[in-house]
Amino acid sequence: MDILFIYYVPSGGVETLNRQRSAALKAAGIQSHFLYYRMERTLVNDHEAPLHIKSDENEIRSLIESNRFDAIVVTSDYLLLPKIRSWGYTGKLIFEIQGLGSQETARTVLTYAISYITPSANCILSSKTPHIMQMLGELYPGFPAYFMDNCFDAERFTHRTSAASVKPIIGWIGRLEDNKNWREFLLIAHLFSNAFFLDADFYMFEDHTLSAPEERAQFDALRNMLGLESKLTVLSNIPNQEMTEYFSRMADSGGFLCSTSKVEGFGYAIVEAMSCGCPVLSTNSDGVQSSIIHNVTGKFYTLGNIHEACLEGLELIQNKETRARIQASALAHIKEHFSNQKYSQSFLEMLCSI
């Protein structure tokens, strides 16, 4: 069985999901193919599957017609669905929801997309994101929708022995955009340094090709205003496999990963950190509830409450017993809930039912 997955760019959580499910589905006898419209950077992580970069509709049509895919999964780009049908494709066509931003944006997009999705797609696929599940029940009553946890290979992406760090390392991962809430991380770093007198290093991992110039200018201005130049290291486009080393360094340093997002669909960076033994402090940004249980597999703080974030973060650093318990519980949780076997079984069940 051959399946084509289509998305805009090979970056972010969707690219991680695609690479993870490529391996998961291959073990179940499914050959994945991946199509992205464009490359914003030279680095594309290995998908271990055929990968295409095409934006011309004639080329996309030719790819679909020549390969005769058993199913096509279109992520986010609902406008493509009726076009695929107009090209004569009669196979299984699935619309996948990943990363629609704020709840207001998600509702606007899903409302507008009804007339594109329901006549063309066989079903909707989404991770178990509470606000998306609720909206689909309201906006698409009776239309087939399947919700499954994303997959993750915790045996392959795991802790690696790292060089000891004198200071705790507190990390952040995301794009410089409002929903990822980078401003809040800078404020947390500032409060840690100036009110709690924590001597720590702060690392921000981002994709500089996906940020608007005005957002980057605001970032530079706030970083300088808060006096974080010497404490903050900004790293762009780190190959995914190298992130095991950075997460492991954070873990071994006594630090943690801090997620400040306003809304997340799943949050792959959180799961990756957990798999490497790095504790996570996060806003309760909806979709992350599948991986974070407060004080069990990680910690939540209230969005906008910088002081609370620092207090919760300090407990992760200073309370060794709590830290060790959370590290162990987090790893056990992701191995149980996000296994490749569980994902491939759910995916096959969806394909059979449509």
Question: 85: pLDDT confidence band, cut at 50, 70 and 90?
Answer: very high
Across the range 1-6, mean pLDDT stands at 97
Distance between CA atoms of residues 10 and 174, nearest Å: 15
Give tens-digit pLDDT for 291-346. 999 999 999 999 999 999 999 999 999 999 999 999 999 999 999 999 999 999 99
Mean of the per-residue pLDDT values of the chain: 94
Question: What kind and span of H or E run contains 263?
Answer: none
Answer whether residue 90 shows pLDDT above 90.
yes
- Sign of the CA dihedral 149, 154, 157, 162? positive
Q: What 3-state class would DSSP assign to 52?
A: strand
Identify the CATH class of 2-151+339-353: alpha beta
Average pLDDT, stretch 86-98? 97
Beta-carbon contacts of 316 under 8 Å, excluding residues fewer than 6 positions away, are: 256, 279, 281, 299, 322, 323, 326
For 187, 246, 344, the CA distances from 184, given in Å and listed in that order, are: 5, 22, 37
Give pLDDT, residue 208. 82
Residue 171 pLDDT level (bands cut at 50, 70, 90): very high
Quickly state the pLDDT bin for 23 (edges 50, 70, 90).
Answer: very high
State the burial class of residue 55 (Cβ atoms within 10 Å of its Cβ: 0-12, 13-18, 19+): exposed
User: Phi-psi category of 338—alpha, beta or left, where left has phi over 0 and alpha has psi -120 to 50?
Assistant: alpha
Average pLDDT (104-129) is 96
Q: HEC profile for 152-182?
A: CCCCCCCCCCCCCCCCCEEEEECCCCCCCCH
Residue range(s) occupied by CATH 3.40.50.2000 in the chain: 2-151+339-353, 169-337
**Residue 318: how many CB atoms within 10 A of its CB?**
12
Q: Is pLDDT above 90 for 99?
A: no
| Strands ordered across the beta sheet of 92-97 | 51-53, 31-36, 2-7, 71-75, 92-97, 123-126, 145-147
**What is the pLDDT averaged over residues 187-211?**
93
CA atoms within 13 A on the CB side of 178: 5
Q: What is the pLDDT of residue 309?
A: 98
Q: Report yes or no on whether pTM surpasses 0.85.
A: yes
Q: Is the pLDDT of residue 207 over 90?
A: no
Q: What confidence score (pLDDT) does residue 164 get?
A: 77
Q: What is the CA radius of gyration of the chain?
A: 21
Tokens 């066509």, residue located: 93
pLDDT at position 185: 98
For residues 231-253, average pLDDT = 94
Task: Determine the Cα–Cα distance for residues 111 and 216; give it in Å rounded to an integer.
Answer: 31
Please state, for a pLDDT cut of 70, what percent of the chain lies above it.
99
CATH of 169-337, one of 3.40.50.2000, 3.40.50.20, 3.30.420.310, 3.10.20.30: 3.40.50.2000
In this prediction, residue 217 has a pLDDT band, given cuts at 50, 70 and 90, of very high
Q: Please report the pLDDT score of residue 186 as a whole number.
A: 98
